[in-house]
Structure 1
Amino acid sequence: MTQHALNSVAATDLPERGQPLAGGVFVTRNWLNGEERALVLLDEELTGAWGKYGEDVAGAKSYSDGAANTRAMAEAGSELAAKVLELDAHIPSHLEGALLMSAKADGLITLREDRWHWLSTQYSAYSAFYMDFEDGWIGSNDKNDGRLVRPVRSLPIQ
């Protein structure tokens, strides 16, 4: 099995934070829906609109579950979300964005500071959250604006 095709990871196989895992860099352990998970940042960068301005995506309102948000975005027609899912990854949620900022502040990962990054958490029918990785500022903006995405993977820890 190749590194990027992992569906889960054994706790004993987890590297130190900031080290390679599953085709990216291991960011941290976190809990999602009662399950401990390993958050992995991929190197790929994609750019595009979050979705359609004025369209409410009911399944993309989770502040913690970026994978569910990204699937809902793709089902609603988001080309950006579909491209991220093709990588066997998802767009970080509001919480996952904060975890990425923490790892960046700890010097474990590098994120561009010259562009705003989409998060998968919808703010309203007209806007979605984005994050500035220079200082960790989170705001919301029109869904049809082009923003950068750094995909992540979230693997169950066995």
Structure 2
Amino acid sequence: MNLNTNTLPVAIGAAFGGGFFAGVNQVGGKTYALIVSPKLFGEFKGRWHASKESVPGAEDYADGLANTNAMAAAGSDLAKAVRASVIEGFDDWYVPARDELELIYRNLKPTAQENYASFRDGENPSSVPMGRHYTEELPAQTSVDEFREGGNQALDAVWHWSSTQYGPSSSHAWTQYFDYGSQYDGHKSYEGRARAVRRLEI
């Protein structure tokens, strides 16, 4: 199903498509509405992968669906659980790519902490509009009550897995911290959270 801009929710965090509207991004020259899943059904915990071997096809910074499929094919229990999930009647959920996860932090940041504004945290060429480097003050805590820290949809103020393998090391994958915004690599064997997303082409 393709949408047009008139059918998108006006507000970030609005109920939409089986979850909540998290923003707009581009993947492979196409534009998508990104939807973050309801926390009760869409929050998963586990290791990115039991092996430190490289996972071909899981290197994309924007295409979380392709990454997650590659992870699942390589035996990732986390990826298989997310891809097998049916949430609000939809079965196309996946682990967000690095840029998709950053967009969720930027638009639905749960805490009022200052951001980690060092190196290139926040740069996101896939988001619409393009994401710029964080400052200590921006992005600010979301104004959507349900997604603020303590709210029933808030992403926990800890790091979350992306589906993007960390290029310099096949044993690591990209993470996003949801307390102060740092983007970092974590060893695939670490236990971490993943919040499922889906997307709709605009």
**What is the TM-score with the length of structure 2 in the denominator?**
0.70
Q: In structure 1, the residue corresponding to 2:71 is in which secondary structure?
A: helix
The aligned counterpart of 2:159 is: 116
- 2:102 aligned residue: 98
Alignment-mate amino acid for residue 76 of structure 1: A
Q: Which residue is equivalent to 1:45?
A: 43
Rg larger in 1 or in 2?
2
- The equivalent position to 2:64 in structure 1, one of 52, 63, 66, is 66
**Partners of 2:52 and 2:195 in 1: CA distance:** 24
Is 62-71 or 8-17 further displaced after alignment?
Answer: 8-17
Contact 2:52/2:189, CA 8 A, preserved across alignment:
no
Give CA deviations for 1:89-130 in whole Å, capped at 9, x if unaligned.
Answer: 1111110111011112443442110x3210100013211111
- TM superposition outliers: structure 1 runs of 4+ over 2 Å: 7-12, 105-110
**Distance in 1 of aligned mates of 2:52 and 2:106:** 32
Aligned partner of 1:14: which letter?
Answer: L
Name the aligned partner's letter for residue 72 of structure 2.
A
Contact 1:117–1:149, Cα closer than 8 Å, also in 2: yes
- Counterparts in 2 of 1:13-28, with a 5 A limit? 13-16=7-10, 17-28=12-23
- The alignment partner of 2:51 has SS state of coil
Measure, in 1, the Cα distance between the counterparts of 2:175 and 2:26. Answer: 22
Paired residue secondary structure (1:60): coil
Q: CA deviation at 1:54?
A: 2.1
> What is the one-letter code of the residue matched to 2:27?
L
RMSD value, Cα: 1.4
- Which residue is equivalent to 1:140? 185
Shift of 1:22: 1.0
CA distance in 2, matches of 1:77, 1:107: 39
In structure 1, runs of 5+ residues without a counterpart are 1-6
SS in 2 for 1:27: strand
Distance in structure 2 (CA, Å) of the matches to 1:8 and 1:46: 28
- What CA distance in whole angstroms lies between the structure 1 residues aligned with 2:59 and 2:16? 28
C-alpha distance in 1, partners of 2:2/2:78?
25
User: What is the aligned residue count?
Assistant: 150
Of Structure 1 and Structure 2, which has the larger fraction of its residues in strand?
1
Moved more, 77-86 or 97-106: 97-106
- Distance in 1 (CA, whole Å) between partners of 2:26 and 2:186 is 28
Query: What is the letter of the counterpart of residue 16 of structure 2?
Result: L
Do 2:25 and 2:100's aligned partners in 1 also have CA atoms closer than 8 Å? no
- State, as a whole percentage, how many aligned pairs show the same letter: 36
Counterpart CA distance in 1 for 2:159 and 2:31 is 29
One-letter identity of the residue aligned with 1:12: N
